[in-house]
Amino acid sequence: MTAQTAESISEFSFKTKYETNRKSPGTWIFSHAIHQWPWILMALIGAIGNAALASVVPIYIGRAFNEIIKDTPSLAVLGNYAVIIGLSQVLRGFLQFTRNFGFEIIAQKMEKNVREELYVNLLGKSMTFHNLQSVGDLMARATNDVREVNYMFSPGFNLVIGSLNFLFIPLLIGPTYHPTLIITPAVFIVLYALALWHYLTVLNPVTNQVRQSFGDLNSRLAEAIDGVEIVKGSAQEDSEIELFSDNAVAYRDASVRQGDIESRFLPMLLLGITMAAGLGQALLLLQQGALNIGDVISYFGILSLLGFPTNTSLFAYSQISLGFAGARRILQLMNTENKLDQNVRGYAKPITGEIAFENVSFGYDDEETSLTNINIKIHPGETIAIVGQTGSGKTTLVKLINRTFDVRSGTVKVDGVDVRDWYLEALRSQISIIEQDIFLFSRSIAENIAFGKPEATMDEIIQAAKEAQADEFIMSFEKGYDTIIGERGATLSGGQRQRLALARAFLTSPRILILDDSTSAIDSETEDKIQQAIFRAAEGRTTLIITHRLSQIRWANQIVVMRKGKIAATGTHEELMQSSPSYQRIFSE
């Protein structure tokens, strides 16, 4: 799947540097890596040159030995050999640096680009997708799995490509001493390739299991930390520790299985046999007079170069396998289709505030139905109160307006246009939803208020805070609007969090304002002040209020009573108290 294809199923899409092919982990990684071709070229030149110059040392040591055993060795010749070896190894050191540097740059750029692509993709996913995901597992994929892609290139591919060249040096240079000396390295290469294929075949499913078990472990950790207050309040520490221990054991066992496979790495045994066979063959040729002692030394030195690809294979191929396992998990996440699309070419005009639900039904999955046959008509500027018992579908209903979710059947219209025909950003930027469970970022108070309008001036931020009755408590902090609040606003009271959310909504000046039980954590005195602010904010815009507070219900133009996903009744407070048993039951409890 290309980035262009992904855009058609993405809730939001962003401009990227280039398209990637998401058909498989291999094609996806290649489509990223190919854009680093200058660094790849530099690394390959370094790898080939480094391997070629590695053969200079054993070749000239053998020649030097032949010179030394002469009756009158030439110091000039030995000096020349020493200079050649020295200069070649200096150049080899530089080429090795270019190989390592090139692969490290590739690895870091790959990690950055993959991380950005995944982050953009996650932001583009619908809430239907995110509601089904474990945050801990998402974090594991976005951090550790992405990091494994980095390690796949450096040291993974760095060592593999750098060492593979060493396999062919004995194959090329051995026959220059004697034609039969090609046999030993040739047999080794064939057996090495077969052993490596078997090794990777056995290793790949285990590395997939390692990455999966790490994701499960991270998921359990994230849930325990996020719900630590409930864990402690329910005295369930021992139970959570046991559950975490089970995940830790699963990760340990998978890692041990990987280590067990790596410990039985067959090419290490093949290397020992090859070295013994190669030396035996060279000594036999020496005895026959086909080689001199210097040639034997040179050949054995060249044959020993096979040790580098063999020894590095144990670690490097495992790292590549982990990298592919991580890439597979990342792709699985990114290729999960959305049910919502951005609809860039859709309707994008200023909202007047008319909302219509026409025969709307909705369910979070195919088996469940949360809303059935909903019909409501809301005129621009009206204030609608939505009431009902817990689980009656109130919050679900309002989240269909901004397409947090899409209807299963029927139509939700804003200004007479099906919300699915709107440009999603234009629709959502003009709708503000304030929920009971307020989410605040670990940033300053001013940044949290201005989250929906980053370009807002400080005067605008302060004015919005004053309208939400938040300015007084904000200024009680030592740093005022520059105060950094804890994650999710944990350092604030429930009422303070809700007032900041109200300030955020007031600042963006939405055409449709939705308050989902947003004053439930506010004391009566503060509520009176906020009621006045909400009343002013509701003027000229369509407002939907989910509440059980009679003070908010009374000034609604229309009250909608929800029961078991259906509309039980509509009307004013006085009308419903006379005609609706469901409405009467709400205020009698």
Please indicate, yes or no, whether residues 390 and 324 belong to a single structural domain of this protein. no
pLDDT tens, 121-134? 888 777 667 766 77
User: What is the per-residue pLDDT across 142-161, written as a single tens digit (0 to 9) for each?
Assistant: 888 899 899 999 898 999 99
Residue 466 confidence (pLDDT): 87
Residue 185 lies in a domain: yes
Does residue 98 form part of some domain?
yes
Q: Is residue 119 part of a domain?
A: yes
What average pLDDT does the segment 521-537 reach?
65
pLDDT bucket at 82, cuts 50 / 70 / 90: very high
Which residue range forms the structural domain that includes residue 399?
355-588
- Residue found under tokens 């020496």: 286
Q: Do residues 400 and 474 share a domain? A: yes
Average pLDDT, the chain: 84
pLDDT reported for residue 221: 80
Identity (one letter) of the amino acid at 201? T
CA distance 436 to 546: 10
Mean pLDDT of 426-436: 84
Structure confidence at residue 237 as a pLDDT band (50, 70, 90): confident
Shared domain for 434 and 385, answered yes or no, is: yes
CATH number at residue 525: 3.40.50.300
Give, as one character, the DSSP assignment of residue 371: E
> Is residue 346 included in any domain, yes or no?
no
Query: Do 493 and 382 sit in the same domain of this protein?
Result: yes
Sheet of strand 409-414: strand arrangement: 371-378, 355-362, 409-414, 417-418
Query: Which amino acid is present at 477?
Result: F
Q: Which residue among 301, 334, 367 closes a domain? A: 334
Among candidate residues 299, 334, 369, the one where a domain is terminated: 334
CATH of the domain at 261: 1.20.1560.10
Structure tokens at 77: 């010749």
pTM of the model: 0.71
Q: Within this chain, do residues 291 and 375 fall inside the same structural domain, yes or no?
A: no
**Domain assignment of residue 341, yes or no:** no
For residues 315 and 464, state if they share a domain.
no
Q: What pLDDT, on the 0 to 100 scale, is given for residue 87?
A: 95
pLDDT at 69: 87
In a domain, 280, yes or no: yes
Range list of β-strands (E), 262-354 = none
Handedness of CA 549, 554, 558, 559 (dihedral sign): positive
- Predicted confidence at residue 530, as pLDDT, reads 67
Q: How many domains are there within the chain?
A: 2
CA distances 404 to 343, 377, 431, Å, are 14, 20, 11
Please report whether residue 345 resides in a domain. no
**361-408 pLDDT per residue, tens:** 998 776 778 899 999 999 998 888 898 888 888 888 998 998 888 888
* Band of residue 8 on the pLDDT scale cut at 50, 70, 90: very low
Please state the rounded mean pLDDT for residues 443-472.
87
Q: What is the mean pLDDT of residues 495-515?
A: 84
Tokens 């034609």 sit at which residue?
179
CB 49 within 8 A of CB 90: no
342 within domain boundaries? no
Q: Where are the beta strands (DSSP E) in 241-326?
A: none
Same domain, 101 and 160: yes
Neighbour count for residue 197 (Cβ, 10 Å) = 10
Given this model, what pLDDT does residue 2 score? 36
pLDDT tens sequence across 242-263: 888 888 899 899 989 988 888 8
Same domain, 412 and 313: no
Q: Write phi, then psi, for 457 (nearest 5 degrees).
A: -80, 165
Sheet strand arrangement including 542-546? 431-434, 512-516, 542-546, 383-388, 558-563, 566-571
Judgement on whether residues 376 and 318 belong to the same structural domain of the protein = no
Please tell me whether residues 76 and 195 are part of one structural domain. Answer: yes
pLDDT of 339: 62
Q: Does pLDDT of 555 surpass 90?
A: no
pLDDT at 165: 87
Query: What is the model's pLDDT at position 210?
Result: 87
Q: Are residues 359 and 328 in the same domain?
A: no
Domain boundary, last residue among 284, 300, 334? 334
**Residues 418, 288: one domain?**
no
**Per-residue pLDDT reduced to its tens digit, 507-521:** 888 889 888 876 655
**Number of other residues whose CB lies within 10 A of the CB of residue 541:** 20
> Which of 5-14, 355-364, 487-496, 569-578 is modeled with the greatest confidence?
355-364
